[in-house]
Structure formats: structure tokens, C-alpha cells
């Protein structure tokens, strides 16, 4: 892309560094595609894809248990619907702002396109923090949030899901308010629902499982598999826990997990049952894990898991957690593959360093697409009033992840960048969306 467009993009979207980073990462890989498909440039598809179809920001007033009134901001960026209804999660976290939501929504366009399913890209959320709030407070917030957002949703229009801070509890409250206002039992309007009322088997596991499946395909191209590999995982939330579970099931020794306070390294391998008890039941810290695990585990306050030597690294916490310094340490310690379970956890300089060193790198828009893919499978089941088994859903997920890997690998080969999954993912995702936009006219 011309530097003038990059400058214009930054000028039009001031104070949004994450969005600038996400767009830059895609745009700098598109030159071979635009040379091969000049009609994309003529139709200004790059400019159009970088501008959301709709940006919503609204007031969310709610009352806590003591009667005090609070006011938060709600967001929904409906970015691109060329392939289907807008699809992407809702994030409730104090860090949420318009730039964060736009970065996530932009990534979601191409992630969803890579699944091969008919879903567009969007994202939303609020700067509300559910941590430490009672169920009643969370319910009142969710009801206020949905009272405004409901008018923009629908199974053929925009279908949110969960993300950080939005789990089964929040999805339930949001769905209840949507049903109350619209007088419609429209199961396909939200995904991540409870299994007893329209949810999908394997949705909880899907993002972590999918990243491991994608990484397994990258290792296969190197003539290897997960068996016996030393693996580091960051985070200890939903994605990290099921990344650990799937990697262990394939024979890996997972050494680490982390939270905002620091990380644990467990030479015997993470005890998943203990970690789930502490994080999912007790809502404790990884430091508690180290205390209860015994001599094999040690807790490092304020440290980073990337200092631990590993064959495979799977960042599964948050954006920009793996920088160039950490990447250099991983390379010195002989890492073979890095794959993103979180959204954009690796900085651009770190990505370049890893690729230059011959490390197989799986970008999040490809590697962590398992979550949204399974959400789309949930929508399919809702449309036909079906409920699939865990085994069927897991097999569908595995097929989709293998397909995403093949698409990225083959596209990179086709455009002269063999083994570059970033280029492959960006071009393949962009090409599918741009072709649909071209067919639909100037809309």
C-alpha cells in the first residue's frame, strides 16, 4: 500500500495504536495480491475494508447492590458483512475502548473469512469490569447493555459471542434481556449459550483446541509432532486451559501458565485438574497453584513465560505480550514454533525476528479461529433446531483447522512466500472478502 494511505488511516483514526498495528500488519503483505488482482485496487477495496460499516458507542447506566449508579460505555463495531452477518465477541474489561474494539473487529473479518464459513466480522464490549461484582450487579449491567444494543442485532444481521469478561453467565443475562425486549426466542442471535438452551458442545474448548491443532499442522510440515515437545503457554483463562489440555493429549509436556501477577513453571508438567480448580472454581491466582503443587512448581512474580526454554510457545493471554526481546530469548533457546491463541499477542518486531530465524509462526487470525468457527457451527445447529455431540463438533473443528492451515500454507506458496503463514493468512482472508465485496457493488 502507498505510504499516503497509511498516513491517512492514522489521521482518520487518531489515538488507536492497536487498530493502526492490526491494519499495518495486513496491508504490508497485500502487494503481490493487488498486483495480481488490479481490480481490487481500482474498486478501492483496501480503503473500504479498513472503514467499518457501522460504529456504535452508547451509554450503559446501571445500579450496584448498594444503590449507587454507575455509567459505562458500550461499543459495537460492525466492520464487514460481505460474507455474512457480523460475527465477533463482546469483551467486558476496563481496557476496552473504541480503538481496541476496532482492532479486534478488523482481525475478525479475516479470521472469519479463513474458516470458509459465511460470517462477517465485528466486535464489541464495554469498559465495565465484572471482576468482583455480584451476579445481580452483572445481570443489571447486561440488561442495560442489551437494552441499547438489541436494536442492532439479529441472526441475519449481527451475532455476538463471548470474549474476555463475557462467559456463560453474561451470555445468559444478555440473551434473556434480548428475548424480553423483542418477544422472540431467537437462539441464533448470540453464541456461547448454555448447552441446555441452544449452546454448542466443544465451544468452551474450541479456541485452545484449535490453536493446538493448527500448530500440529505446522509441526507436521517440519516432519515433527507434539509428542515429547516442551511447551510454554501464557495465560490461565479459558484459552490457555484448553490449549494445555489439548497439547497434553498429544503428548506434549506443558511447562507454564501465567496471570497478571507472574507465571508458574512446573517441570513435571502443568497439573490441569489443579489449575482448573484454582482458576475456574476458586477464581484464584497462579501463585496459589505453585503453593499447592509442591516441589516441581515455582512461581516467578512479574516474570514472563518466554524466559523458559521450550520447543513450542503458545501465547494465549492478551495483545502485545510477546515482544522482540522475548522473541530473541525464545530463538536462543531453540523454539521451533510459535502460534497465537490470543488476539495479536506478538508484536510486529517479534514476528519478523521469529520468521527470520526460521521459526514456524501461526498468526492469530488463522491459529485461534477455532472459537468463532465453533460459534458458526452453533448458529448452524440453532437454525435447524439440532444438537450435535461433542465428538461430531470436535471433528468438524479439526476439519476446519486443517483447512485453514492448508489455505494459509498454499496461499503463501502461490504468492512467493513459502512457509510465511502471516502472508498466507492475510492474502487468503482478504481475497475472499474482497471478491465478495466486488461482486456486491459499491455498498
For residues 354-371, give the mean pLDDT. 96
CATH number for the domain formed by residue range(s) 205-358: 3.40.50.720
Strand partners, 80: 121
The pLDDT confidence band at residue 319, using thresholds 50, 70 and 90, is confident
pLDDT for residue 371 is more than 70 = yes
Q: Where in the chain is the domain with CATH 3.40.50.10860?
A: 3-185
Among 128, 104, 108, 129, residue whose Cα is nearest residue 16: 104
Per the CB < 8 A criterion, the answer to whether 241 and 324 are in contact is: no
Cell of 115: 474458516
* Region(s) of the chain under CATH 3.40.50.720: 205-358
- Interval 115-139 mean pLDDT: 96
Q: Which of 87, 102, 111, 123 is catalytic?
A: 123
pLDDT digits (tens, 9 = 90+) for 142-191: 999 999 999 999 999 999 999 989 999 999 999 999 999 999 999 999 99
Helix/strand/coil for 232? strand
- Cβ pair 415, 427 in contact under 8 A: yes
Q: Which one, of 207, 218, 209, lies nearest residue 337 by Cα?
A: 218
User: CA 107 to CA 99: how far, in whole Å?
Assistant: 12
Active site residue 123: yes
Query: What was the pLDDT predicted at 82?
Result: 98
The dotted CATH code for 3-185 is 3.40.50.10860
pLDDT at 2: 55
Please report which confidence band the pLDDT of residue 3 belongs to, taking 50, 70 and 90 as the band edges. Answer: low
What is residue 4's predicted lDDT score, i.e. its pLDDT? 83
Dihedral angle, C-alpha 221, 224, 225, 229, nearest 10 °:
-130
- Spatial distance between the Cα atoms of 357 and 334, rounded to a whole number of angstroms: 10
In this model, does residue 81 exceed pLDDT 80? yes
Percentage of the chain lying above the pLDDT 70 cut? 99
Amino acid at each position: 500500500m502507498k505510504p499516503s494511505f497509511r498516513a491517512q488511516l492514522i489521521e482518520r483514526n487518531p489515538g488507536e495504536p492497536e487498530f493502526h498495528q492490526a491494519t499495518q500488519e495486513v496491508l504490508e503483505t497485500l502487494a503481490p495480491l493487488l498486483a495480481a488482482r488490479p481490480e481490487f485496487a481500482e474498486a478501492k477495496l483496501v480503503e473500504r475494508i479498513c472503514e467499518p460499516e457501522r460504529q456504535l458507542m452508547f451509554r450503559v447506566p446501571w445500579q450496584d447492590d448498594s444503590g449507587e449508579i454507575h455509567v459505562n460505555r458500550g461499543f459495537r463495531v460492525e466492520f464487514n458483512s460481505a460474507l455474512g452477518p457480523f460475527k465477533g465477541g463482546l469483551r467486558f474489561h476496563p481496557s476496552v475502548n473504541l480503538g481496541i474494539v476496532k482492532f479486534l473487529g478488523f482481525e475478525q473479518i479475516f479470521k472469519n473469512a479463513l474458516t470458509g464459513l459465511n460470517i462477517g466480522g465485528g466486535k464489541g464490549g464495554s469498559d465495565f469490569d465484572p471482576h468482583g461484582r455480584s451476579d445481580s450487579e452483572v445481570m443489571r449491567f447486561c440488561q442495560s447493555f442489551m437494552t441499547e444494543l438489541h436494536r442492532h442485532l439479529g441472526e441475519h444481521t449481527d451475532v455476538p459471542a463471548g470474549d474476555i469478561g463475557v462467559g456463560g453467565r453474561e451470555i445468559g443475562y444478555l440473551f434473556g434481556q434480548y428475548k424480553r425486549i423483542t418477544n422472540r426466542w431467537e437462539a441464533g442471535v448470540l453464541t456461547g449459550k448454555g448447552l441446555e438452551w441452544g449452546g454448542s458442545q466443544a465451544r468452551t474448548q474450541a479456541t485452545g483446541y484449535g490453536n493446538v491443532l493448527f500448530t500440529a499442522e505446522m509441526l507436521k510440515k517440519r516432519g515433527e509432532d507434539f509428542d515429547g515437545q516442551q511447551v510454554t503457554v501464557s495465560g490461565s483463562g479459558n484459552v490457555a486451559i484448553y490449549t494445555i489440555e489439548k497439547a497434553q493429549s498429544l503428548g506434549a509436556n506443558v511447562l507454564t501458565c501465567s496471570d497478571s501477577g507472574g507465571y508458574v513453571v512446573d517441570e513435571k508438567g502443568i497439573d490441569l485438574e489443579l489449575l482448573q480448580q484454582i482458576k475456574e472454581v476458586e477464581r484464584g491466582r497462579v501463585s496459589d497453584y505453585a503453593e499447592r503443587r509442591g516441589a516441581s512448581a515455582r512461581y516467578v512474580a512479574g516474570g514472563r513465560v518466554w524466559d523458559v526454554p521450550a520447543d513450542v510457545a503458545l501465547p494465549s493471554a492478551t495483545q502485545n505480550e510477546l515482544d522482540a526481546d522475548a522473541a530473541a530469548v525464545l530463538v536462543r533457546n531453540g523454539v521451533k514454533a510459535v502460534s497465537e491463541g490470543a488476539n495479536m499477542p506478538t508484536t510486529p518486531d517479534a514476528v519478523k525476528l521469529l520468521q527470520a530465524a526460521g521459526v514456524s509462526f501461526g498468526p492469530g487470525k488463522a491459529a485461534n479461529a477455532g472459537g468463532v468457527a465453533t460459534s458458526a457451527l452453533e448458529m448452524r445447529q440453532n437454525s435447524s433446531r439440532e444438537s450435535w455431540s461433542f465428538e461430531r463438533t470436535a471433528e468438524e473443528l479439526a476439519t476446519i483447522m486443517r483447512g485453514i492451515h492448508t489455505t494459509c500454507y498454499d496461499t503463501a506458496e502461490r504468492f512467493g512466500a513459502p512457509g510465511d503463514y502471516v502472508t498466507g493468512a492475510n492474502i487468503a482472508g482478504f481475497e475472499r472478502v474482497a471478491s465478495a465485496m466486488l461482486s456486491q457493488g459499491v455498498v
